[in-house]
Amino acid sequence: MFDNLSERLERSFKILKGEGKITEINVAETLKDVRKALLDADVNYKVAKSFTDTVKEKALGQNVLTAVKPSQLMVKIVHDELTALMGGETAELVLEGRPAVILMSGLQGSGKTTFSGKLARMLKTKKNRKPLLVACDVYRPAAIEQLRVLGEQIEVPVYSELDSKNPVQIALNAIHEAKAKGYDLVIVDTAGRLAIDEQMMNEIEAIKKAVNPDETLFVVDSMTGQDAVNTAREFNERLDFNGVVLTKLDGDTRGGAALSIRTVVNKPIKFVGTGEKLDAIDQFHPARMADRILG
Ligand code: GDP
């Protein structure tokens, strides 16, 4: 992941090797390369432009200490700005309700159901929560079955109503059941579609309104690049979600989604999915991701 971007950035910093100080000319040359590297990694055009503008301003504005080489200074500034671009601080889940409710949203195939299982497992084992998973996809029986199988693997019960066609009611009934049976966390997996469609949006909006979740997470496949960013924008306009989950970061994603989403929707990335297995989930730490990108 990000291999190509890392390599390209490293190469662009080489322009400054051997230079005695930062100048308008060598900074412009370096940042032209940096911008190209970002665009080739599928970073949103406006995001790439404002990124390099900020780096330029900082680089030229810093009094270069004789001890710091221009290339080192540039790496440091780019690192700090990449961290800021991805949100700066690590964004935690805020789960205060009893039960706390997490609503999953996203397109079909984004990894929503898998992530629901991963998150239930993580919060159960690491935070000692007692989760109940809820299958709200009333269109695809296979989706309910998939969640049931995941639940069995992680020993978390799955609430479903095979005969119901009303996902809002299913979610409300599940919360009722959680209260009655002492579950302190309800994770609601919803129906996705292959592309944005009005009915899906209305449905998830109605579920959100009815259950008033502590966290609404938007799950997106990082391999889809710019599409991921556009889909995030549309879901955010309708749902005003709290956080993003980037899945399939184990594939050869170019990184554009990870680097653009935060700026475009102004919502933090909270988790990443790094594989099909149920333990392939990580909290998202912007500074550590910047470390990885810069090698
Ligand atoms: P949903 O339709 O949004 O519920 O998506 P699924 O959870 O069914 O996932 C779609 C496919 O992506 C499945 O084959 C998953 O195993 C796979 N998948 C989900 N998350 C990841 C991930 O982080 N990495 C990889 N490599 N595959 C994933």
Residue 254 is predicted with a pLDDT of: 84
Q: Which residues are annotated as a binding site?
A: 106-113, 189-193, 247-250
53-58 — which CB contacts under 8 Å span 24+ positions?
A: 54/81, 55/31, 55/81, 56/27, 56/28, 56/31
Instruction: Choose the residue to mutate in 103, 110, 114 for probing ligand 1, maximizing ligand atoms within 8 Å of C-beta.
Output: 114
**161-201 pLDDT per residue, tens:** 999 999 999 999 999 999 999 999 999 999 988 888 899 99
pLDDT in the model for residue 152: 98
Q: Which of 249-253, 275-279, 284-288 has the lowest mean pLDDT?
A: 249-253
Decide whether any atom of ligand 1 lies within 6 Å of the 274 Cβ: yes
Tokens of 158: 């799955």
Give the residue ranges of DSSP H helices in the chain.
3-13, 24-40, 45-61, 70-85, 112-127, 141-154, 167-181, 198-211, 226-239, 256-265, 286-293
Token pair for 279: 């333990």
Tell me: ipTM over 0.90. yes
CB 28 within 8 A of CB 16: no
- Quote the pTM value: 0.95
